Amino acid sequence: MLGNTFGRMFRVTTCGESYGDALVAIIDGCPAGLEINDEYVQEELNARRPGTSPIDSPRQERDEVHIFAGVRDGFTTGAPLGMIIYNVDRHEIHVKQYYDVKDLVRPGHAEYNYFIKYGRFADWCGAGRASGRETCMRVAAGAVAKKILLQHGIEVLGYTKECAGIRCRDLTFDEVKANYRSNIINCPDEEAAKKMIDRVLEIKEEGDTAGGIVEVIARGVPAGLGEPVFDKLNATIAHGLMSIGAVKGVEFGAGFNIARMKGSEANDIPYVDENKKVRFRTNKAGGIEGGISNGEDIVVRVAVKPTSTISIEQDTVNMATMENVKLGAITRRDPTITARLVAVAEAMVRITILDHLMMWSGYDAVQNIEHPWT
């Protein structure tokens, strides 16, 4: 299996499966001298941990992280940073539930595709590598990126923009920050949050699940990040976000609504502010033009699909007998994954921005080297 590493200079590699012994992340490119410990990383992991509310999975995973390499006396050494989380709630009763239906294709899941690619050796237990459990280590790596970005004045915050068909009002970065992680649905608009939660619980009682939209805002990103043509900042952010299993779409700024605008409506008009800096009166581009940041807030949204495991019986196929059969939910599931995905989306945006910041810093440093032979 390829494709388990993300990034060029801040490189994150993850391994581990839903019902395996543990999940691991290795970070290449973490600078020496960063003060980091288990507790700091744990704070981010707690934002996506299951079993903490009636709108997420009852699976009881503590997601306790341990930094086992790359840190000495509380500071990074410059060596690869290693982190591990052990899976604890993987009892035989749950493994048997998966074993009993291992030949059946669960609609909306990746079993069929993994079977076609890896044959009978594909991990059928809890979706294996395709499980949302894999995102634990993205969040752990994102916590490290967060620490570095904050030192450079860059802050990344996400929230639930929409869930179960209920959309919150438009929010500024300051409003999101003021009510950050203030409720179980991760929506700073308390009125909309209550409606979202109520609707998700109704859908849960129906044996079904709900999708949603997560918005992430990055403030303080300097103008100039991004490597055209194929490594545009928005392209690599989208790459990171689309690599999250539950994400089915990505948009920046005005997003797909820009297709219905005229050029005069879509253009962000520049002006010189009181500090003699170029700013833009609107931000329909979402802080990125030509694949390069323009200094405004980077605004990106992702479409989160409803959890595929539902209680309602569905048609499917038995890959062993090649017969059409019926399948109802046999395992634990999230009524919606939207709220927990906020931390994962934040992590991928942080990792990507830091990667570009390191690329840009290196490029800028090389440009300004004084060559003794000239």
Residue 204 domain flag: yes
Residue 337 domain flag: yes
Quick one: pLDDT at residue 369? 63
Cα 287 from Cα 300, distance rounded (Å): 9
Quick one: pLDDT at residue 117? 85
Chain segment 20-51, per-residue pLDDT in tens:
889 999 999 999 999 999 999 999 999 877 76
Residue 22 domain flag: yes
Instruction: Give the chain's residues under pLDDT 70.
Output: 51, 58-61, 89-95, 123-128, 329-332, 364-374
Residue 372 domain flag: no
Residue 351 domain flag: yes
Q: What is the CATH number of the domain that holds 44?
A: 3.60.150.10
Quick one: pLDDT at residue 265? 97
CA dihedral 2, 5, 143, 357 (to 10 degrees): -150
Express the helix, strand and coil content of the chain in percent, nearest 5 each: 35, 25, 45
pTM of this prediction exceeds 0.75 = yes
Tokens of 36: 């980091």
To which residue do tokens 């920046």 refer? 252
Cα 45 from Cα 85, distance rounded (Å): 10
Quick one: pLDDT at residue 124? 65
Residue 250 domain flag: yes
Quick one: pLDDT at residue 319? 87
Name residues whose C-beta falls within 8 Å of residue 326's C-beta, 6 or more positions apart in sequence: 313, 314, 315, 316
Name residues whose C-beta falls within 8 Å of residue 224's C-beta, 6 or more positions apart in sequence: 292, 293, 360
Residue 186 domain flag: yes
Domain hosting 299: range is: 5-366
* Number of domains composing the chain: 1
Nearest of 136, 125, 128 to residue 25 by alpha carbon? 136
137: phi then psi, degrees, rounded to nearest 5: -75, -25
Residue 203 domain flag: yes
